[in-house]
Structure 1
Amino acid sequence: MWKIYGPQPKAFLEQHNGAPTSDDFEKAHSVGAVRDANVQIYEGEIFVIMGLSGSGKSTLVRCLSRLVESTAGEINFEGRDLLTMGDAELIDVRRKKMGMVFQHFALLPHLTVLQNAAFPLEIQGVSRKDREDRARQMIETVGLKGREDHYPRQLSGGQQQRVGIARSLVADPDLWFLDEPFSALDPLIRREMQDEFLRLQSLLHKTIVFITHDFDEAIRLADRIAVMKDGCIEQIDTPENLVMNPATPYVQEFTRHIPRAKVMRLESIMSPGVPDGEYAGDLPGHLTVADTVHQLDEASLPFRVLNEDQAPIGTIDARAAIDVMIGRGVE
């Protein structure tokens, strides 16, 4: 996918055989907001796109949803290229298949929480009873039960964001776009919203594209991360691999100060094999060292590490966690 701003962007791209350089952009007084991006997003995963301001992450997501028209490329969704859809079909897909949450909540001030949450279904022509029943379910899901008759001005920033999330989920979308949804919130509220987001995902199992410029937020939420710079995707990988195996000098610098304990998973540092003797308990292998260090430190015995099927695959103890935290024996 390409998104170029400037005079005759399609002709410019063809003129340079689909591979213009930075010098080509400068000479043509054009900007490559998204440059040759190739992304595959898996069903049910949280895919985080991150980078500094101006890196192209928001433009990429707006291209994926066709809020911004791409200069060239394909966007394949459920076997169809979104770029070939007419306006009516695209609107139908957005209303029924996609949910969107942006940094600014954009709640309608003259509508109550219930009416705001039900608004997408009202646009679809759903009956008042059905849309309000569904909206009440979503309001309860995001933890705002009892505030259905409040107006946005009567809510805190975090509560307003929850209404925005409820509104984006009320139509039960298959694909959920979130563009820096928590960046305007205070740090404590932001942490609470991250917890809420992870709780919702554990219940709903959505396919999520999440934009952030905060690496701590990214590694906490993501299954995989795409790091962008100057419109290009530098690397797509798991948080652990980004930190431990950066593909470019930029990614290496970007992740240099991230504590390894935040990304190293138990399954990566465990001792393989099932213990014959006693053990302190069981820990899921997908948890990080930072998630479990206090449990490990307080136990006199090792823990069993479990895979996704809850089968034991190894053991972990406090010494292994300390080795990661101080960088001993970790390449």
Structure 2
Amino acid sequence: MTKPLIEIRGLYKVFGDKPKSVIDRVQAGDSKDQILAETGHTVGLKDINLSINKGEIFVVMGLSGSGKSTLIRHFNRLIDPTQGQILVEGTDVMKFGVKELEEFRRHKMSMVFQRFGLMPHRNVIDNVAYGLEVQGLSKQDRLSKANQWLETVGLNGYGEQYPSQLSGGQQQRVGLARALCTDAEILLMDEAFSALDPLIRSEMQDQLIELQQKLHKTIIFITHDLDEALRLGDRIAILKDGELVQQGTPDEILLHPADEYVEAFVKDVNRARALTVETVMQPPAYRITAETIDEALIQMKKLKGDYAYHVTEDGYQGIVTQESLQDASLDKSVDGFSDDIYETVPEISPDAAIETVLPETMACDYSLPVVDEEGNLKGELERSAVAEIFVDHAVDPEIKKAG
């Protein structure tokens, strides 16, 4: 199994004059409010354990005060933990000296801020090239590279403009281009789109998804917006009062909230829009692989169902019923499989949102075949499975907090 790119182990952060003096109380379970009242120290993070894989978008979300922005600033040591380890490719960044930390920040991690973080006295091209200037690249090389990234984020021709001349969405594109320009493997994005109006925010989300499909960066994305987390995240971690209450894939968070806090987050989400067919499909119940009608009829009679998916070496062919096979077997004019033998049932993609296939699912007498781009049968979508996602489930008390 591939090792995670980033590991956070037993991370605690206490703000105050003598943070280490209250760690024992934090670990003993004293509440955040109690520690603040009795010691004057604020618990920012408590026993955070995370692993982040190379090339994934890992979203950390929570309400204001949950510790998410405090957490992201630990990755590049803008904040040092009171206790715990931060490992990147197996190396503990807490052991870096000043020079090593500078190199790490210049080459390994870039950051995109909520309020853009652009230098108003520099034009756009110089803002984008700033990280390369710090790295020591020649002016010609850094401007050439910066122009390439401006074109990538859709700002070709804006290099001589100043930040004040740009819209909010354009400014954030400059910030994104600046972060990408250094070729850093890891991108930290702290509420990067939250200052934008909804339409521009949606466009920036689209652009990030599109860029990620080409670049395969490791992105740690902070947000308070669950819809944004579900749209962007390969995996999501949810914080509350400095503690990690659940982590998992978007569908795990949606369908199996770990506690009432997470359940309150997900209760108003349009699940049919957020979930894909792949998340709720089942393995095909009955397959037939025969090459002739008679062989198919023999296989069908051994099955419990009255219909099955016909699959050959060329992939999924269609749905056949016992009745249609019997009729075809008795009809001497039928020479083999044809469109007349298969039921008229739409094929659906595993990547399709449930919302887009809802009418077909509800109208069809059969479970819909889920077929990938290569024509392979990946599963079946049952009407009951689709109906199930609209049912509110009580939180399972056996679900433990993710660690």
TM-score, normalised relative to structure 1: 0.89
Q: Select 2:134's aligned residue among 105, 123, 126.
A: 123
- State the shift of 1:312 in Å: 2.8
- State the shift of 1:150 in Å: 1.7
How many Å separate the matches in 2 of 1:28 and 1:290? 52
- Within the alignment, does 1:323 sit opposite 2:332 as a pair? no
- Is the Cα–Cα contact under 8 Å of residues 280 and 302 in structure 1 kept in the other structure? no
Aligned in 2, Cα 1:215/1:128: closer, same or farther, shift over 3 Å? same
Q: Select 1:2's aligned residue among 9, 12, 16.
A: 12
How many Å separate the matches in 2 of 1:119 and 1:306? 47
- State the shift of 1:290 in Å: 3.4
Partner of 2:256: 245
How many Å separate the matches in 1 of 2:89 and 2:41? 33
Aligned in 2, Cα 1:157/1:27: closer, same or farther, shift over 3 Å? same
- State the shift of 1:272 in Å: 2.5
Q: Select 1:106's aligned residue among 100, 109, 117.
A: 117
- State the shift of 1:270 in Å: 2.4
Q: Select 2:51's aligned residue among 35, 40, 43.
A: 40
Alignment root-mean-square deviation, CA:
2.9
- State the shift of 1:254 in Å: 2.1
Q: Select 1:21's aligned residue among 17, 26, 30.
A: 30
- State the shift of 1:265 in Å: 2.5
Q: Where do 1:242-281 residues align within 5 Å?
A: 242-273=253-284, 275-276=309-310, 277=318, 280-281=346-347
Give the secondary structure class of the aligned counterpart of 1:217.
helix
- Within the alignment, does 1:166 sit opposite 2:177 as a pair? yes
Quick one: percent identity of the two aligned structures?
43
Q: Where do 1:1-331 residues align within 5 Å?
A: 1-13=11-23, 15-16=24-25, 18-22=27-31, 23-273=34-284, 275-276=309-310, 277=318, 280-281=346-347, 283=349, 285-290=350-355, 293=358, 304-306=369-371, 311-316=376-381, 319=383, 323=387, 326-327=390-391
Partner of 2:339: none
Give the secondary structure class of the aligned counterpart of 2:144.
helix
- State the shift of 1:324 in Å: 5.4
- State the shift of 1:296 in Å: 7.0
How many Å separate the matches in 1 of 2:379 and 2:392? 20
How many Å separate the matches in 2 of 1:296 and 1:153? 51
- Is the Cα–Cα contact under 8 Å of residues 269 and 320 in structure 1 kept in the other structure? no
Q: What code does the residue aligned with 1:220 have?
A: R
- Is the Cα–Cα contact under 8 Å of residues 47 and 223 in structure 1 kept in the other structure? yes
How many Å separate the matches in 1 of 2:139 and 2:388? 55
- Is the Cα–Cα contact under 8 Å of residues 55 and 216 in structure 2 kept in the other structure? yes
Q: What code does the residue aligned with 2:18 have?
A: Q
- State the shift of 1:322 in Å: 5.9
Q: What code does the residue aligned with 1:269 have?
A: V
Q: What code does the residue aligned with 2:105 have?
A: R
Give the secondary structure class of the aligned counterpart of 1:36.
strand
- State the shift of 1:25 in Å: 4.5
Per-residue CA deviations over 1:246-297 (Å, capped at 9, x if unaligned) read 11221122222222213333123224337321664551x2443136558879
How many Å separate the matches in 1 of 2:242 and 2:171? 31
How many Å separate the matches in 1 of 2:154 and 2:196? 17
- Is the Cα–Cα contact under 8 Å of residues 260 and 324 in structure 1 kept in the other structure? no
* The structure with more radius of gyration: 2
- State the shift of 1:183 in Å: 0.6
- State the shift of 1:310 in Å: 7.4
How many Å separate the matches in 2 of 1:291 and 1:233? 33
How many Å separate the matches in 1 of 2:133 and 2:363? 54
> With CA pairs under 8 Å and 6+ residues apart, which has the higher RCO, 1 or 2?
1
Aligned in 2, Cα 1:104/1:171: closer, same or farther, shift over 3 Å? same
How many Å separate the matches in 2 of 1:223 and 1:116? 30
How many residue pairs get aligned? The number is 328
How many Å separate the matches in 2 of 1:301 and 1:118? 57
Unaligned runs of 5+ in 2: 1-10, 288-308, 311-317, 319-341, 396-403
Aligned in 2, Cα 1:111/1:294: closer, same or farther, shift over 3 Å? farther
Q: What code does the residue aligned with 1:323 have?
A: A
- Is the Cα–Cα contact under 8 Å of residues 117 and 166 in structure 1 kept in the other structure? yes
